């Protein structure tokens, strides 16, 4: 079947199988940042934006993306570099495999709630598993980034 | 090099950090050729069975299928998948495909095809008739059982590890010192208990994966998510029965390892397909496969007997470990050793006698492997729990009993291969942890008045730094145009950051910016030999090789400079920007020197140094946990965890911290959440991240980490290891806190709410 959608603001028309998952379709389209850590919607690694809302691309059929706007980390270069530098400054990226999904959901959180409490951060990102960092370094990075944004006077 | 250190113990960003946070395509499945054959495995549904008949006819007819292989197609020389120095202590008990199935998940057949759909269809069409056999599922009854896991004649052990396949024994042995019986009899209190830990999964976010292709020279090039490129080369040569010279192994970025990828879990399968078909092939394990056919921690049951005086003096330890290696013996003979050798030495101060005995048994469950801590984690849970109970029985503060008995700097430990502790800040770790935690101010137990009870617990831990007298680390450092350096290593950065920390050592030695050192590795063709990144060896062993290589390169560079400046090389001084005469009168810049090295030069500007250490200096740590137990539900909430670590000189202050926090989180998972159950037929229930509950950021509480420095003179800049020791304290510290809250010792992990509640109810009934 044919679908037409926007991937990182670029219009894409493609032939897919009815059972193609969005994660596999996106990786085929060159969005290699989208990672798979499980098959059970538990790890959060495959998080992408569908019409600006974070979704697990392993649990969405590519067919359902027809007519929608999909954004992956490849499409958020500036935000990824801006926020990512704060994670890097903690050494919290470690193996890096969970980072794209974590970055996507963190960026979604900053947009939705530019001034979250620690508990709100933990709650919002609880679906993003990381086996390396113990999460504390990510928390320090997020808080340093938020402090920077506040100092800048603007929003996250 | 005696000047003030500028790059050591600094919070330096990892060299690959920005690529990783920006999601760049640097992992195996991002870089595998698009035309790879898709390889998948048919797994056994039976814990123990013989393949009577296997019919692949219908499956082969599926359009797009390239090849299907069964036990009839593979070389018949047994090998081990364990990534260890040859001759491996792990027995040679594997074939690529075997007729005998030894666990639910064992490999029946390999299918390779053009696309996933075709391969999935073919997998369903393979018809297998099994002769189902009685499995050995209870590891307590495996030794000398009637049913043998490896009855085959071709099974063999290369090393004297007390293995005997006719007794289901993968290893057995004893180590002792002093007159245990006499000392034990003379003790005023003797406690004995049995502890049980499960086959925990490393659960790195990137599952096992490998691709293979044939290179320009007709050689097999295997790219794998591995910690051990050189061991993989040897293992593949054994498995495929081809010369090692025909194989090249390299690694891309690795999405986590934690020891899992110290075993060749996936490599042999696509390598076999590519060698046969001469086409590129890749195998990406699903999470379910990683959970059921991976290389988890060895399940262990430990019987610990401690003899002490009423004043808390610990005089004797008797330790027996029964380890379950599962269907194959990867890392079986070695992990078990750490359960005793890296727990007993913690109580070295007054120890007069110890005995450490062990059996490692084969059973029909998933084969175990290497997981961070490597047996020490299990042993330390048992011994630390025992010491906490001893303190409780004697009415002594658990910190005080440790202060009385712990190993200290300068001591020689008979239970640790008679090594002397050059650098040991364990006493300061405990003291600092007490301060940070407020140990002396907090009660053991505090009823919160709302059905919840808060309590504290503690533990100590140690590990090693590389395998003494065995692990080899090498570094090649090369001077290039403009005076930048390329550092080649065979150690594997798996997210740990060793590409960066080893570059820090090089840059410190060469007195240059970190950006002036490019790191390349690991590739079995071009990297200098390294055993690989495991056993907490990389900074301590390979890091020392880097330091030595740099020192040697500086000498060569001084010779070139001496030629330019026309003076003896020994009169020159090496500085950040070049080499100068002692009086500073004449100077040649690094760029000029590098230029000269490429023009009419006969002096070496590329140096390789190989290093090995006769000792394995232990890093130490103290951990303290505060938990809140809901007495109505049994739920345990971790409120606060304090950890103070002695890793010698930290090379990168950020990375040692994150290593510690990450290790603590895994230890917390092991203590509270991560469970393994087998059904009556030997199938694992926790085969996904839905059932196998690794901690989320809501589950780890607050982790507070500090470091107490020591200086290990045999390590680079005084460094010891960090990677493994950090997983060892949470289980015993949390079990201790749960006891203080509920009055019940939990000697089996994980400590789930059901167990806590049943424990409370049982205790109330008894009272």
What is the phi-psi region of residue B476: left when phi exceeds 0, alpha when psi lies from -120 to 50, beta otherwise? beta
The span from the CA of A88 to the CA of B658, in Å, is 11
Please answer whether residues A54 and A22 qualify as being in contact, where contact means their C-beta atoms are separated by less than 8 angstroms. no
Is A73 touching B (CB cutoff 8 A)?
A: yes
E strand or H helix at B133:
none
CA distance B493 to chain A (A): 9
Chain B residues within an 8 Å CB radius of A100:
23
Instruction: Give residue A152's pLDDT band: very low, low, confident or very high (50, 70, 90).
Output: confident
Residue A153's pLDDT band (boundaries 50, 70, 90)? confident
Report the pLDDT averaged over residues B282-302: 98
- Segments in B303-352 forming alpha helices (H): 332-341
Q: Which residues of B touch A78 (CB under 8 A)?
A: none
Q: With an 8 Å Cβ cutoff, are B666 and A131 in contact?
A: yes
Q: Looking at chain B, which residue has its C-alpha nearest residue A131?
A: B204
Flag if A89 and B13 touch (Cβ within 8 Å). Answer: yes
- Residue B537 near residue B468 (C-beta atoms within 8 A): no
Give the residue extent of every domain in chain B: 17-24+468-611, 32-133+202-292, 425-458+618-767
CA distance B208 to B282: 11
**What number is the average pLDDT over the span B753-766?**
96
- Measured between beta carbons, which residues in chain B are less than 8 angstroms from residue A101? none
Contacts of B27 in chain A (CB under 8 A): 35, 97
In chain A, residues with a C-beta closer than 8 Å to the C-beta of B654 are: 89-91, 137
* Chain A residues touching B203 at Cβ < 8 A: 131
Cβ pair B647, B720 in contact under 8 A: yes
Q: For the segment B422-455, what is each residue's pLDDT rounded down to a tens digit?
A: 999 999 999 999 999 999 999 999 999 999 999 9
B1 has pLDDT over 60: no
Strand, coil or helix: what is B668? helix
In the structure encoding, which two tokens stand for residue B421, read together?
């502790």
What are residue B89's phi and psi, to 5 degrees?
-65, -25
Calculate how close chain B gets to A151, using CA atoms only, in Å.
23
How many angstroms separate the CA of residue A80 from the nearest CA in chain B? 6
Q: Is the per-residue pLDDT at B295 higher than 70?
A: yes
Q: In this structure, what token pair is assigned to residue B575?
A: 């500085």
**pLDDT value at position B663?**
98
| Distance (Å) from the alpha carbon of A39 to chain B's nearest alpha carbon | 7
pLDDT tier at A155, thresholds 50, 70, 90: low
B21, B35, B251: best mutation site toward chain A, by most A Cβ within 10 Å?
B21
Structure tokens belonging to residue B636: 């345990």
Instruction: Give the distance from residue B202's alpha carbon to the nearest chain A alpha carbon, in angstroms.
Output: 8
Structurally, at CATH architecture level, domain B425-458+618-767 sits in 2-Layer Sandwich (3.30)
Q: How far apart (Å, rounded) are the C-alpha atoms in residues B487 and B553? A: 12
Considering only CB atoms, A88 lies closest to which of B14, B496, B660, namely: B14
Residues in chain B: 767
**Interface list for B 84-123 with A (CB within 8 A):** 117
Name all domains of chain A by residue range, CATH numbers in brackets: 2-74 (3.10.20.30), 76-152 (1.10.150.120)
Dihedral sign for Cα atoms in the order B430, B435, B437, B439 = positive
A7 touches chain B (CB under 8 A): no
Of B23, B205, B288, the CB nearest to A33: B23
For chain B positions 589-648, those within 8 Å of chain A (CB to CB) are none
Neighbouring-strand partners of residue B487: B477, B519
**Two tokens, residue B627:** 């938990």
Q: Which residues of B touch A124 (CB under 8 A)?
A: none
Compute the nearest-CA separation of A154 from chain B (Å): 23
> What pLDDT, on a 0 to 100 scale, did the predictor assign at position A154?
60
CATH class of B32-133+202-292: alpha beta
Q: Cα B34 to chain center, whole Å? A: 32
CB of B721 less than 8 A from some CB of A: no
pLDDT tens profile B650-679:
999 999 999 999 999 999 999 999 999 999
Q: Does residue B139 contact residue B299 with C-beta atoms inside 8 Å?
A: yes
3-state secondary structure of B43: strand
Q: Report chain A residues whose CB lies below 8 A from the CB of B257.
A: 95
The verdict on a CB contact (< 8 Å) between A88 and B25 is no
Is residue B477 scored above 50 in pLDDT?
Answer: yes
Q: Do domains B17-24+468-611 and B425-458+618-767 have the same CATH topology?
A: yes
What residues have CB less than 8 Å from B443, skipping those under 6 apart? B456
Q: In this complex, do B703 and A138 lie within 8 Å of one another by their Cβ atoms?
A: no
- Could you report the per-residue pLDDT of B197-222, keeping only the tens digit for each? 999 999 999 999 999 999 999 999 99
Tokens of B343: 């727990």
What's the pLDDT score for residue A2? 97
**Beta-carbon contacts below 8 Å between A and B:** 181
Residues 81-140 of A with CB under 8 A from B: 81, 83-85, 87-100, 103, 122-123, 125-139
With a pLDDT cut of 70, the percent of chain A lying above it is: 98
Q: Report the top-level CATH class of B17-24+468-611.
A: alpha beta
Whether residue B115 has pLDDT greater than 60: yes
Candidates B404, B639, B605; CA nearest to B510 is B605
Residues forming beta bridges with residue B196, ordered by sequence position: B301, B748
Task: Assess A56–B contact: CB distance below 8 Å, yes or no.
Answer: no
pLDDT confidence bin for B576, thresholds 50/70/90: confident
Best mutation target, A33, A34, A38, to test chain B (most B CBs within 10 A) = A38
Cβ burial B586-609 (10 Å sphere, 16+ → b, else e): ebbebebbbebbeeeeebbbbbbb
The closest CB to that of B696, out of A37, A129, A137, belongs to A129
Rounded distance between C-alpha atoms, residue B90 and residue B374, angstroms = 14
What is the pLDDT averaged over residues B133-151? Answer: 98
- Asked whether the whole model's pTM tops 0.90, one would answer yes
Query: pLDDT band at residue B623, thresholds of 50, 70 and 90?
Result: very high
Per-residue pLDDT tens over the stretch A127-145: 999 999 999 999 999 999 9
pLDDT bracket for residue B707 (50, 70, 90): very high
Using the Cβ of A47 and the Cβ atoms of chain B, whether some distance falls under 8 Å is answered with no
**Peptide linkage before B522 cis (omega within 30 of 0):** yes
Nearest by CB: A131 against B254, B256, B698: B256
Phi, psi of B206 (to 5 degrees): -90, 120
Q: Are B429 and B436 spatial neighbours (Cβ–Cβ below 8 Å)?
A: no
Asked if pLDDT for residue B4 goes beyond 80, the answer is no
The dihedral region occupied by A19, where left means phi > 0, alpha psi between -120 and 50, and beta the remainder, is alpha
Measured distance CA(B264)–CA(B262) in Å, rounded: 7
**Which SS3 state, helix, strand or coil, does residue B391 take?**
helix
What per-residue confidence (pLDDT) applies to B583? Answer: 86
Which B-chain residues 10-49 have CB contacts (< 8 A) with chain A? 11, 13-14, 16-27, 30
């Amino acid at each position: 079947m044919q679908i037409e959608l926007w991937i990182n603001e670029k219009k894409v028309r493609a032939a897919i199988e009815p059972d193609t998952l969005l994660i596999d379709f996106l990786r085929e389209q060159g969005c290699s940042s989208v990672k798979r850590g499980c098959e059970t919607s538990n790890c959060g690694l495959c998080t992408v934006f569908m019409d600006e809302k974070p979704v697990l691309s392993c649990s969405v059929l590519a067919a359902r993306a027809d007519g929608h706007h999909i954004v992956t980390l490849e499409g958020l270069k500036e935000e990824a570099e801006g926020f990512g530098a704060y994670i890097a400054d903690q050494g919290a990226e470690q193996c890096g495999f969970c980072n794209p999904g974590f970055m996507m959901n963190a960026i979604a959180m900053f947009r939705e709630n530019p001034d979250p409490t620690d508990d709100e951060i933990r709650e919002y990102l609880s679906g993003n598993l990381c086996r390396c960092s113990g999460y504390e370094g990510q928390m320090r990075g997020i808080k340093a980034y938020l402090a920077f944004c506040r100092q800048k006077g603007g929003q996250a | 090099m005696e000047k003030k250190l500028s790059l050591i113990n600094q919070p330096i960003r990892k060299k690959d950090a920005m690529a990783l946070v920006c999601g760049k395509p640097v992992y195996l499945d991002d870089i595998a050729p698009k035309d790879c054959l898709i390889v998948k495995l048919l797994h056994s549904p039976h814990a123990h069975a013989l393949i009577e008949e296997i019919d692949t006819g219908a499956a082969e007819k599926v359009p797009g299928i390239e090849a299907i292989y069964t036990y009839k197609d593979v070389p018949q020389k047994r090998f081990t998948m364990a990534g260890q120095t040859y001759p491996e202590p792990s027995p040679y008990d594997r074939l690529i495909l075997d007729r005998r199935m030894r666990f639910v998940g064992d490999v029946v057949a390999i299918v390779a095809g053009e696309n996933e759909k075709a391969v999935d269809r073919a997998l369903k069409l393979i018809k297998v008739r099994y002769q189902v056999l009685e499995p050995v599922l209870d590891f307590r009854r495996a030794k000398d059982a009637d049913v043998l896991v490896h009855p085959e004649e071709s099974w063999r052990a290369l090393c004297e590890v007390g293995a005997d396949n006719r007794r289901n024994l993968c290893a057995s042995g004893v180590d002792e010192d002093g007159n245990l019986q006499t000392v034990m009899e003379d003790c005023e209190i003797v406690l004995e208990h049995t502890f049980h830990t499960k086959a925990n999964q490393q659960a790195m976010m990137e599952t096992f994966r490998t691709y293979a292709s044939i290179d320009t020279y007709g050689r097999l090039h295997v790219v794998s998510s591995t910690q051990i490129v050189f061991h993989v080369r040897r293992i593949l040569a054994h498995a495929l029965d081809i010369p090692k010279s025909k194989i090249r192994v390299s690694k891309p970025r690795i999405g986590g390892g934690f020891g899992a990828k110290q075993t060749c879990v996936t490599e042999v399968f696509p390598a076999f397909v590519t060698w046969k078909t001469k086409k590129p092939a890749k195998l990406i394990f699903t999470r379910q496969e990683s959970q059921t056919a991976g290389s988890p921690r060895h399940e262990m049951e430990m019987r610990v007997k401690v003899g002490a005086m009423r004043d808390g003096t610990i005089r004797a330890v008797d330790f027996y470990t029964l380890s379950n290696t599962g269907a194959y013996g990867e890392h079986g003979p070695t992990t078990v050793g750490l359960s005793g050798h890296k727990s007993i030495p913690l109580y070295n101060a007054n120890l007069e006698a110890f005995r450490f005995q062990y059996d490692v048994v084969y059973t029909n469950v998933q084969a175990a492997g290497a997981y961070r801590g490597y047996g020490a984690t299990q042993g330390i849970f048992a011994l630390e729990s025992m010491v906490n109970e001893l303190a409780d029985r004697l009415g002594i503060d658990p910190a005080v009993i440790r202060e009385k008995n712990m190993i200290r700097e300068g001591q020689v430990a008979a239970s640790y291969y008679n090594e002397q502790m050059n650098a040991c800040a364990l006493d300061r770790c405990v003291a600092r942890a007490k301060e940070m935690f407020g140990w002396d101010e907090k009660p053991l137990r505090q009823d919160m008045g709302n059905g919840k009870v808060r309590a504290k617990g503690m533990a100590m831990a140690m590990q090693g730094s590389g395998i003494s007298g065995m692990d080899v680390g090498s570094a090649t450092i090369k001077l290039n145009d403009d005076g930048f350096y390329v550092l080649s290593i065979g150690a594997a950065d798996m997210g740990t950051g060793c590409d960066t920390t080893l570059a820090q050592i090089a840059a410190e030695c060469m007195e240059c910016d970190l950006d002036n050192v490019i790191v390349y590795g690991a590739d079995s063709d071009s990297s200098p030999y390294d055993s690989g990144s495991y056993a907490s060896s990389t900074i301590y062993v390979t890091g020392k090789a880097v330091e030595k290589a740099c020192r040697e390169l500086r000498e060569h560079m001084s010779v070139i400079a001496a030629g330019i400046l026309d003076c003896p090389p020994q009169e020159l001084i090496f500085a950040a920007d070049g080499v100068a005469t002692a009086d500073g009168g004449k100077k040649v810049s690094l760029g000029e020197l590098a230029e000269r090295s490429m023009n009419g030069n006969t002096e070496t500007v590329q140096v390789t140094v190989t290093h090995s250490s006769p000792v394995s200096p232990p890093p130490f740590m103290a951990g303290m946990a505060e938990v809140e137990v809901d007495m109505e539900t049994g739920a345990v909430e971790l409120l606060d965890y304090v950890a103070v670590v002695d890793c010698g000189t930290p090379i990168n202050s950020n990375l040692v911290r994150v290593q510690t926090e990450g290790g603590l989180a895994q230890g917390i998972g092991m203590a509270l959440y991560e469970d393994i159950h087998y059904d009556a037929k030997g199938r694992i229930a926790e085969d996904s991240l839905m059932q196998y509950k690794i901690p989320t950021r809501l589950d780890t509480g607050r982790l507070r980490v500090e470091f107490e420095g020591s200086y290990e003179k045999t390590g680079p800049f005084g460094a010891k290891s960090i990677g493994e020791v950090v997983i060892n304290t949470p289980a015993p510290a949390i079990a201790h806190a749960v006891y203080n809250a509920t009055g019940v010792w939990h000697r089996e992990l994980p400590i789930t709410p059901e167990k806590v509640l049943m424990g409370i109810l049982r205790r109330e009934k008894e009272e």
